[in-house]
């Protein structure tokens, strides 16, 4: 497995699907295909799978939720998409370690690498946590 190639592909795929805000859940480039499926709204679950030549080679599961009743879902998810557009090739799981925009703040802490990883992302609005998502995954064979 060429991890550098996979990492770049994942970053490009994530920027071209949910984060872009156009409702796309699939992305293809060369021998790779990516799909992101999720279900739910303010509490949701999903998975991302990367196929190489039609064989599943990488996957990630995630479970997230709005954690504050007063939070406006639309604003939180709009900010989340901004953070996810900043995904980095060195850790192409979710967004960057930290990102701030006006009253919103994003953090993503993870352990591991593309082989096997887990992590948590959080969004704060004026210092109050309004969103939390846990994720894990790795290489498939």
- Report the pLDDT value the prediction gives residue 65, as an integer from 0 to 100: 98
Cite the DSSP H helix spans in the chain: 3-16, 73-84
Mean pLDDT for 110-135 is 98
Q: What is the pLDDT of residues 2-50, one digit of tens each?
A: 999 999 999 999 999 999 998 899 999 999 999 999 999 999 999 999 9
Instruction: List the structure tokens of 82.
Output: 């901004």
Residue 26's DSSP bridge partners are 35
Q: What is the pLDDT of residues 65-100, one digit of tens each?
A: 999 999 999 999 999 999 999 999 999 999 999 999
Full strand arrangement of the beta sheet holding 104-113:
26-29, 32-40, 43-52, 55-66, 128-139, 116-125, 104-113, 98-101
- Report the pLDDT value the prediction gives residue 47, as an integer from 0 to 100: 98
Per domain, the residue ranges of the chain are 3-139
- What is the chain's mean pLDDT, rounded? 97
- Report the pLDDT value the prediction gives residue 129, as an integer from 0 to 100: 98
Instruction: List the structure tokens of 110.
Output: 């993870």
- Listing DSSP states for 19-38 in one string gives GGTS---EEEETTEEEEEEE
Residue 126: count other Cβ atoms within 10 Å of its Cβ: 9
- Report the pLDDT value the prediction gives residue 23, as an integer from 0 to 100: 86
Q: What is the pLDDT of residues 69-78, one digit of tens each?
A: 999 999 999 9
What is the band of 1 on the pLDDT scale with cuts at 50, 70, 90? confident
């Amino acid at each position: 497995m060429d991890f550098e190639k996979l990492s770049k592909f994942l970053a490009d795929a994530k920027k071209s699907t949910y984060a872009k805000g156009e409702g796309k859940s699939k992305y293809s480039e060369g021998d790779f295909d990516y799909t992101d499926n999720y279900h739910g709204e303010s509490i949701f679950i999903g998975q991302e799978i990367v196929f190489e030549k039609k064989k599943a080679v990488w996957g990630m599961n995630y479970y997230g939720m709005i954690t504050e009743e007063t939070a406006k879902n639309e604003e939180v998810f709009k900010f989340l998409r901004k953070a996810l557009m900043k995904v980095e090739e060195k850790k192409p799981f979710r967004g960057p370690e930290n990102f701030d925009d006006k009253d919103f703040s994003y953090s993503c802490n993870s352990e591991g690498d593309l082989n096997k990883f887990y992590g948590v992302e959080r969004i704060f609005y004026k210092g109050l946590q309004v969103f939390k998502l846990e994720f894990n995954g790795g290489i498939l064979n």
